[in-house]
Amino acid sequence: MTDKHEHINQCSENYACDIKHKHINENHNYDHLACSFENEYPQAYEVHEHHHFDPEQNPVHKHYHEHGEDCDCECEHTHVHEEHSHPHGEQCTYGHCAGEGAVKILMHEGAVAASFSKNFVENLETVEIKLMKLIESLGSKVTKGGALIGHIKATVTSGEYACMFSLTSKEVNIKRNEGKKEKTITLSFAAIILKTEAEELRTYLGKIYNAF
């Protein structure tokens, strides 16, 4: 009863459910229209398997790439990643695949505006310390590359609590509004950078997304 698809893409690219792919299993046993896939992705490089057991059930992704290739997922692995699942049609949030797909890019007046938002459960203090380091690191990377920081901003909110981080030049400024906290943390992140490449910024923010 398995409906199997294969889609091929670069390691760093998003392989969420809407990625172009080819069907490799002729034994399709449910309506094709339930799957949004269309065509073969041109760069045969890395293989992801995509199974649908049933349109009503969760699809399972499996992810491989060439041996020795740095897939940037920051884990010691044998180049076959664990299977993971998510509801059909939903953005894949597994490992390093999730980040870049979650980053939205807009261009305006020659500047690149990149942003993402993410909900998760983690220790708030740990998140803030980690986020501050990541913002500093992003600032340093983009300026070393000759770009100009318009601003890098992030907020961490939890219930009534909100903390905003902003970086324009050297130091990360922090503003806090104390309030009752909840378990779930929402991280919103935005960077507006001038004299930079959009895809480069997407990669940087994708890594920040994946760090949480």
The one among 21, 65, 153, 202 contacting other proteins by CB under 8 A: 153
The one among 155, 185, 209, 212 contacting other proteins by CB under 8 A: 155
Give the CB-side neighbour count of residue 9, counting CA atoms within 13 A: 23
Residue with smaller CB distance to other proteins, 157 or 210: 157
Candidate segments 41-49, 83-91, 130-138, 190-198, binder of other proteins by CB under 8 A:
190-198
* Cβ-based neighbours of 82, under 8 Å, separated by 6 or more: none
The DSSP line for 107-144 is EETTEEEEEEEEEEE--HHHHHHHHHHHHHHHHHHHHH
Q: What angle do CA 32, 35, 101 make, to 5 degrees?
A: 160
Helical spans, DSSP H, in the chain: 95-102, 124-144, 198-210
Query: Is the separation of the CB atoms in 139 and 152 below 8 Å?
Result: yes
Which of the residues 22 through 61 are near other proteins (CB under 8 A)? none
The one among 173, 183, 184, 197 contacting other proteins by CB under 8 A: 173
Q: How far is the CB of 201 from other proteins (least distance, A)?
A: 11
Q: What angle do CA 121, 127, 130 make, to 5 degrees?
A: 145
The one among 151, 181, 183, 197 contacting other proteins by CB under 8 A: 151
Question: Any contact of residue 140 with other proteins (CB under 8 A)?
Answer: no
Q: Which chain residues interact with other proteins by CB under 8 A?
A: 104, 106, 108-111, 113-117, 148-151, 153-155, 157, 160-162, 164, 166, 168-169, 173, 175, 177, 179, 188-190, 192, 194-195
